[in-house]
Amino acid sequence: MYQVLLRVWALLLGVVFIMLGNGMHFTLIGLRGGIEGFSAASLAIIASGYYIGFLSGARFTPRLIRRVGHVRVFAALGSFMSAGLISFPLLTDIWAWAIIRVLVGFCMAGIYVVAESWLNDAATNETRGKVLSAYMIAQTLGIIGAQGLLTLGDAATSVLFICASILVSISFAPILLSVALVPAVEVSKPMPLKRLFKGSPLGTVGIFLLGGIYAAQSGMGAVFGSQIGLTPNTIALFVAMLFAGALFMQYPIGWISDRMDRRQLILGASCIGGASCFFGLYTGNELWPLMAAAFVSGGMTAPLYALFLAYTNDSLEADEMPAASGGLVFTFGLGAIIGPLLIGWAMQVLGPSAFWLVIGVTFSGIAVYALYCMTQKGEVISVEDTDSYLGVLPTASLVAVEAATEWAVEHAEAEREAESELDEQASRDTSEELK
- Per residue in 217-269, pLDDT tens? 999 999 999 999 999 999 999 999 999 998 898 888 888 887 788 889 999 99
Residue 435 has pLDDT above 60, yes or no: no
Q: What is the pLDDT of residues 107-158, one digit of tens each?
A: 999 888 888 888 877 777 677 777 888 888 889 999 999 999 999 999 999 9
Per-range mean pLDDT, top range of 61-70, 174-183, 268-277, 305-314: 268-277
Q: Is 220 within 8 Å of 44 (Cβ atoms)?
A: yes
Query: Cα–Cα distance between 242 and 394 in angstroms, integer?
Result: 13
Residue 434 has pLDDT above 60, yes or no: no
| Beta-carbon contacts of residue 341 (< 8 Å; ≥ 6 apart) | 44, 45, 48
pLDDT for position 36? 92
pLDDT band (50, 70, 90) for residue 1:
low
pLDDT for position 354? 95
Q: Alpha-carbon dihedral of residues 116, 120, 123, 127, nearest 10 degrees?
A: 90
Percent residues over pLDDT 90 in the chain: 50
Average pLDDT over residues 39-65: 91
DSSP secondary structure letter of residue 157: S
- List the single range of 24-28, 209-213, 384-388 with lowest mean pLDDT: 384-388
Q: What is the pLDDT of residues 373-432, one digit of tens each?
A: 888 766 556 555 566 677 788 888 777 788 777 777 676 666 656 666 665 666 666 666
Handedness of CA 280, 282, 287, 288 (dihedral sign): negative
pLDDT for position 379? 53
pLDDT for position 300? 95
| Beta-carbon contacts of residue 333 (< 8 Å; ≥ 6 apart) | 51, 54, 55, 58, 211
Statement: 2-434 belongs to CATH 1.20.1250.20? yes
| Beta-carbon contacts of residue 22 (< 8 Å; ≥ 6 apart) | 104, 108, 142, 143, 146, 164, 168
Backbone φ, ψ for residue 14 (5° rounding) = -60, -40
Average pLDDT over residues 71-93: 90
Average pLDDT over residues 261-281: 93
DSSP alpha helices (H): ranges in 88-227? 94-122, 128-149, 159-176, 193-199, 201-227
Report in angstroms the alpha-carbon separations of 176 from 16, 78, 110, 217: 14, 11, 15, 32
Give me the chain's average pLDDT, please: 86
Q: What is the pLDDT of residues 53-67, one digit of tens each?
A: 999 988 888 888 888
* Rg of the chain over all Cα atoms, to the nearest angstrom: 22
pLDDT for position 412? 65
Average pLDDT over residues 296-301: 94
Q: Enumerate long-range contacts of 117-120, CB under 8 Å, 24 or more apart.
A: 117/65, 117/70, 117/182, 117/185, 117/399, 118/11, 118/70, 118/175, 118/179, 118/182, 119/8, 119/11, 119/400, 120/399, 120/400, 120/403
Q: Is 245 within 8 Å of 295 (Cβ atoms)?
A: yes
DSSP reduced 3-state for 154: coil
Q: Is 218 within 8 Å of 241 (Cβ atoms)?
A: no
